[in-house]
């Protein structure tokens, strides 16, 4: 899991090893490294063996990726913002089977959109809820789910300047499946 260090370097970003997360502002001691550790542990109040709870996994990944685009490839923004748009605006009940389908759709889409960048919101202005909030404030499964949903909604709203683009993607995608 050192890939993110290489990606940050590739994106010209210097990672800060101490203090708050430089991207989302999470209340960490070891910056992005700790923010990612919390993310990777995956909020264990939620029982992910229950199919009904899978949606929270998608929301976690989308929210975290869109708060930290500097440690991902540029087309990840299209994927995760489109998925949130499909979930929030179209009420799609996302499943593991849909993710590779959306990836395939975007692989074809991007061939004709090489100049299209989804510029991220400013650093630290990507939603008030962060990994450390969820870790510290979730005392039970219900709280944890509510926080995750609000986290994803906040991040989604912070990317609102690109909602038109992902709406076109969502419509094209829904036509194909």
Q: In Å, how far are 82, 127, 142, 172 from 65, measured between CA atoms?
A: 12, 12, 23, 23
Give me the least distance between CB of 7 and Zn ion, in Å please: 14
Please classify residue 7 by burial: count the beta carbons closer than 10 Å to its beta carbon, then call 0-12 exposed, 13-18 middle and 19+ buried.
Answer: middle
The residue behind tokens 């890939």 is: 3
> At what angle are helices 75-88 and 98-111 packed, to 10 degrees?
130
CB of 141 to Zn ion, least distance (A): 23
Cα–Cα dist 5/31, whole Å: 13
Residue with smaller CB distance to Zn ion, 127 or 166: 127
| Smallest gap from residue 93 Cβ to Zn ion (A) | 28
Query: In the complex, what is the shortest distance from the CB of residue 34 to Zn ion, in angstroms, rounded to a whole number?
Result: 8
Could you tell me if 91 and 132 are in contact, meaning their C-beta atoms sit under 8 angstroms apart?
no
The site for Zn ion, by CB under 5 A, has a size of 5
Contacting residue, 8, 24, 46, 118, with Zn ion by CB under 5 A:
24
Name which of 23 and 159 has its Cβ closer to Zn ion.
23
Residue written as token pair 């008030």: 128
Among 8, 21, 60, 165, binds Zn ion (CB under 5 A): 21
Q: In whole angstroms, how close is the CB of 50 to Zn ion at the nearest point? A: 27
Provide, rounded to whole angstroms, the least separation between the CB of residue 125 and Zn ion.
13
Residue 63 near Zn ion by CB under 5 A: no
Structure tokens at 107: 């692989």
By CB under 5 A, tell whether 60 contacts Zn ion. no
CA distance linking residue 106 with residue 100, whole number of Å: 10
Q: Is 26 in the site for Zn ion (CB under 5 A)?
A: yes
35 in contact with Zn ion (CB under 5 A): yes
Phi then psi dihedrals of residue 133, to 5 deg: -60, -45
Q: By CB under 5 A, which span of 25-33, 48-56, 95-103, 164-172 interacts with Zn ion?
A: 25-33
Instruction: Tell me which residues touch Zn ion (CB under 5 A).
Output: 21, 23-24, 26, 35
């Amino acid at each position: 899991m050192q890939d993110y260090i290489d990606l940050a370097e590739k994106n010209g970003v210097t990672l800060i090893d101490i203090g708050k997360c430089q991207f989302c502002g999470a209340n960490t001691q070891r910056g992005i490294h700790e923010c990612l550790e919390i993310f990777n542990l995956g909020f264990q109040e939620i029982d992910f063996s229950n199919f009904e709870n899978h949606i929270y996994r998608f929301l976690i990944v989308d929210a975290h990726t869109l708060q930290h685009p500097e440690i991902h490839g540029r087309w990840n923004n299209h994927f995760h913002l489109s998925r949130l748009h499909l979930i929030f605006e179209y009420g799609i009940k996302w499943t593991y089977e849909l993710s590779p389908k959306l990836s395939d759709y975007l692989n074809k889409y991007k061939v004709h959109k090489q100049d299209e960048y989804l510029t991220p919101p400013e650093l630290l202005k990507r939603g008030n809820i962060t990994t450390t909030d969820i870790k510290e404030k979730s005392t039970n499964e219900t709280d944890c789910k509510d926080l995750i949903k609000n986290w994803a909604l906040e991040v989604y709203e912070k990317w609102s300047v690109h909602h038109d683009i992902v709406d076109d993607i969502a419509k094209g995608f829904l036509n194909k499946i």
